[in-house]
């Protein structure tokens, strides 16, 4: 596979290239800014690109817009761990980037080697060998971006008996909680799903999206700009209410508990035995310990690895309902594929059909009203 690394710092280019020195099947080319990247892209025909955001002549966002218009391919942004870096990163994701890597300590990071394993995994994850050098479908950008950049620019086993500590929560319909897990490629996919849900969706939604600290607050704020349903970051113990999406705090895990007969989500220290955070497995496992799986809905979206697949499959086994994103739209098919292979998917759907299915499953007037408008 061919990888184009774009960064205005010669030191960073050398360091990022070093990350792939031990990968004999990855050929690397380097570009010093956005203008150079577009020239190299035409000559080198990369399968994937890592792209810095802050560069002279042509910045990363402008370069990304041209890439998405001229020759769409998987782009991973290399971002700084700051609020400004987070805002630019999510603008990049809205423009068509599939994921990002956060530099540990600033624009020129002397400890970039700390994320080498993650970077190699993400580069390999976003390039499907069967789809190389093709313009495969990407997550649709939001309407405001579509106008600027062409279409981008301009049956389960009987349920086991559950402990009596579980509670029954009086939500409308027959669902107490929707649990969504996602990783690589997830921010754009999740945004498209949530934008299709109404403000009065009759159950709470809890999301574990693999993301570093300080990014989930900005992500939640940007989602709220385009979603009718309410969006909130779980940065403290939070009672879960219908009509709200709760985004687990970046770099932490999230646990579902109950207090005074209410469902509560609270951030907890990340489990050192788990690789990715917020952990989908921890979220689902704690939810099924206090709620009846028959009244849970699990959704597994794009992402590497198998985080939460076993736990979400158990929801299906015990009578709950689950959705796995299909390979045709998943940026990385790993997590949904694991759910499917474990026999844990009630349905396999492209991401753009997930919202409609959730509305059918909640079985309320909201769903009927929304369906009538489609």
pLDDT digits (tens, 9 = 90+) for 117-144: 889 999 998 886 544 433 333 434 444 4
pLDDT in tens, 342-365: 999 999 999 999 999 999 999 654
In a domain, 349, yes or no: yes
The reply to whether 211 and 290 lie within a common domain is: yes
DSSP class per residue in 289-347: HHS-GGGEEEEE-S-SS-TTHHHHHHHHHTT-EEEEE-TTT-SS-HHHHHHHHTT--SE
Q: Which two tokens stand for residue 341?
A: 């292979």
Per-residue pLDDT, 115: 85
The reply to whether 122 and 189 lie within a common domain is: no
Domain count across the chain: 2
**Comparison of pLDDT for 104 and 228, the residue scoring more:** 228
If DSSP codes are grouped into helix, strand and coil, which group holds residue 68?
A: helix
The reply to whether 128 and 273 lie within a common domain is: no
What CATH number is attached to the domain comprising 213?
3.40.50.180
In a domain, 207, yes or no: yes
Indicate which residue of 36, 52, 99, 210 is catalytic.
Answer: 210
From 285, 243, 290, select the one nearest 264 (Cα to Cα): 290
Indicate which residue of 80, 156, 183, 220 is catalytic.
Answer: 183
Indicate which residue of 99, 307, 326, 346 is catalytic.
Answer: 307
Mutual angle of helices 83-95 and 186-195, in 10-degree steps: 70
Cβ atoms within 10 Å of 111's Cβ, excluding its own: 11
The reply to whether 99 and 246 lie within a common domain is: no
In a domain, 320, yes or no: yes
The reply to whether 217 and 282 lie within a common domain is: yes
258 catalytic? Reply is: no
Domain that holds residue 303: 177-373
* DSSP designation for 9: -
In a domain, 163, yes or no: no
220 catalytic? Reply is: no
In a domain, 184, yes or no: yes
Q: What's the longest Cα–Cα distance across the chain?
A: 64
In a domain, 343, yes or no: yes
The reply to whether 357 and 224 lie within a common domain is: yes
| Alpha carbon distance 108, 14 (integer Å) | 12
Per-residue pLDDT, 337: 97
Paired with 247 in beta bridges are 207, 233
Per-residue pLDDT, 260: 81
| Alpha carbon distance 110, 164 (integer Å) | 53
307 catalytic? Reply is: yes
The reply to whether 182 and 128 lie within a common domain is: no
Q: Is the pLDDT of residue 147 over 80?
A: no
Q: Do residues 353 and 322 make contact, with C-beta atoms less than 8 angstroms apart?
A: no
Give the pLDDT band (50/70/90) at residue 85: confident
The reply to whether 217 and 355 lie within a common domain is: yes
In a domain, 327, yes or no: yes
**Comparison of pLDDT for 13 and 132, the residue scoring more:** 13
The reply to whether 183 and 290 lie within a common domain is: yes
119: left (phi over 0), alpha (psi -120 to 50) or beta: alpha
Q: Is the pLDDT of residue 68 over 90?
A: yes
The reply to whether 302 and 366 lie within a common domain is: yes
pLDDT in tens, 257-300: 998 889 999 999 998 888 899 999 999 999 999 999 999 999 99
Q: Which residues of 161-180 are buried (b: 16+ CB within 10 A; e: fewer)?
A: eeeeeeeebebbbebbbbbb
The reply to whether 115 and 194 lie within a common domain is: no
The reply to whether 277 and 361 lie within a common domain is: yes
In a domain, 154, yes or no: no
What CATH number is attached to the domain comprising 94?
3.40.50.2300
Is the torsion defined by CA of 143, 304, 210, 155 positive or negative?
positive
């Amino acid at each position: 596979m061919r990888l184009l690394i774009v960064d205005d710092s010669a030191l960073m280019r050398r360091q990022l290239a070093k990350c792939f020195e031990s990968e004999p099947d990855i050929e690397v080319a380097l570009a010093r800014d956005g203008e150079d990247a577009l020239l190299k892209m035409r000559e080198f025909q990369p399968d994937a690109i890592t792209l810095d955001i802050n560069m002279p002549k042509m910045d990363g966002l402008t370069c990304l817009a041209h890439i998405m218009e001229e020759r769409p391919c998987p782009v991973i942004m290399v971002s700084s761990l700051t609020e400004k870096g987070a805002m630019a990163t999510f603008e990049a994701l809205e423009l068509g980037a599939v994921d990002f890597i956060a530099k540990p300590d600033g624009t020129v990071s002397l400890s970039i080697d700390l994320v080498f394993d993650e970077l190699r995994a993400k580069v390999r994850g976003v390039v499907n060998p069967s789809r190389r050098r093709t313009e495969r479908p990407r997550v649709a950008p939001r309407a405001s971006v579509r106008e600027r950049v062409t279409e981008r620019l301009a049956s389960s086993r009987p349920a086991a008996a559950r402990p009596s500590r579980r509670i029954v929560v009086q939500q409308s319909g027959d669902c107490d909680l929707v649990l969504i897990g996602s990783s690589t490629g997830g921010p754009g996919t999740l945004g498209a799903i949530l934008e299709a849900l109404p403000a009065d969706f009759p159950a709470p939604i809890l999301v574990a999206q693999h993301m570093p600290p300080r990014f989930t607050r900005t992500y939640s704020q940007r989602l709220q700009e385009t979603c009718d349903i309410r969006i909130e970051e779980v940065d403290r113990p939070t009672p879960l209410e219908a009509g709200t999406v709760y985004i687990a705090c970046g770099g932490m895990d999230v646990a579902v508990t109950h207090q005074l007969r209410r469902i509560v989500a609270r951030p907890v220290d990340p489990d050192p035995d788990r690789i990715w955070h917020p952990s989908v497995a921890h979220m689902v496992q704690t939810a099924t310990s206090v709620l009846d799986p028959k009244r849970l809905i699990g959704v597994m979206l794009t992402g590497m690895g198998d985080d939460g697949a076993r736990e979400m499959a158990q929801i299906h086994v015990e009578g709950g309902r689950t959705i796995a994103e299909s390979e045709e739209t998943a940026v990385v098919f790993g997590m949904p594929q694991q759910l499917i292979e474990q026999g844990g998917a009630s349905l396999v759907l492209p991401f753009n059909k997930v919202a409609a299915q959730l509305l059918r499953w909640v079985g309320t007037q909201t769903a009927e009203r929304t369906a009538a408008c489609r």
